[in-house]
Amino acid sequence: MATVDGLPPLREVIAHHGLVAKKSLGQNFLLDLNLTSKIARQAGDLSQCDVLEVGPGPGGLTRGLLAEGARKVLAVEKDSRAMGPLSEISAAYPGRLEVINADALEIDPLERLTPPVRIVANLPYNVGTELLVRWLTPPEWPPYWASLTLMFQREVAERIVAEPGSKKYGRLAILAQWRTTPRIVMELPPEAFSPPPKIHSAVVHLDALPAPRFEADPKMLERVVAAGFNQRRKMLRASLKGLAPDIEDRLTAAGIKPTDRAEQIPIEGWCALAREMAKG
């Protein structure tokens, strides 16, 4: 059976290396190389970019990224069992694939990447949200990456693009939409994976904005948003009362009704509140 790159089909690779997806690592392997190439294309032109990929597993998306012309791919994989398949891909693309057997939460990818950088990944379910929040909250903005193209459980993807007033609107939507333009670009059914998960998946593409949409101190914004959505059913004057004794005055100064609930407040309002809280 012919493949996009002349390497064996992924099912053969997995069988040859005895790879079985580990639930403890949040693994679900994507085996259709046409799909992985389609995901890679959602990231845009990769020919002048280095790409960071987290959790490549047997390398389905890795092969898609390289076949679509990525200048270089840095693949960070915690599971040492995947080193064999990934080394075979590296040999087929000399000088274009670097593989690190490490935890993505513990490395500095900038040491091995040359900007512009795009991050493209079928993220392990158990660390996907944590990695996204880290990428969205660097010490300085703009970040080292130009865009994120990430696969999540569909429910998480919907939270990232949710609008004010919806039940899915919360911390993820605010952090993502404050400094990026996120959109769902693909949806995938369970049967696209091995083993099939119990839920549908979706790919979200986020382009980094040159500057945040509204001025706010990042740490203060995270603090007020976390407090507000921690008790999202309560009025803000109640859910935020632990932040300041005069919280009602600060809410009013930010243009927010103290009787509103967290999901009613647009990003502009949360940023205005963060500025009020930063006044001390």
Q: What is the identity of the amino acid at 167?
A: K
Same fold flag, 10-208 and 218-278: no
Beta strands, E only, the chain: 29-30, 50-54, 72-77, 97-101, 117-122, 145-153, 180-188, 193-194, 201-208
Q: Is 222 annotated as a binding residue?
A: no
**Which residue bears the tokens 């909250």?**
137
DSSP 235: B
**Domain 10-208: which topology?**
Rossmann fold (3.40.50)
Q: What is the pLDDT of residue 23?
A: 66
Q: Is 34 annotated as a binding residue?
A: no
Structural domain boundaries in the chain: 10-208, 218-278
Q: How many CB atoms lie within 10 A of CB 143?
A: 17
Task: State in words which class domain 218-278 has.
Answer: mainly alpha
Q: Is 123 annotated as a binding residue?
A: no
Q: In 3-state terms, what secondary structure has residue 126?
A: coil
DSSP 261: B
This prediction has a pTM of 0.93
Q: What is the pLDDT of residue 80?
A: 92
Q: What is the pLDDT of residue 97?
A: 98
Q: Is 122 annotated as a binding residue?
A: yes
pLDDT in tens, the chain (280 residues): 446 678 988 888 887 877 776 666 556 778 889 999 999 999 999 999 999 999 999 999 999 999 999 999 999 999 898 999 999 999 999 999 999 999 999 999 999 999 999 999 998 777 889 999 999 999 899 999 999 999 999 999 999 999 999 999 999 999 999 999 999 999 999 988 877 888 899 999 999 999 999 999 999 999 999 999 999 999 999 999 999 999 999 999 999 999 999 999 999 999 999 999 999 7
Q: What is the pLDDT of residue 1?
A: 44
DSSP per-residue codes, 20-65: ---GGGT--EE--HHHHHHHHHTT---TT-EEEEE--TTTHHHHHH
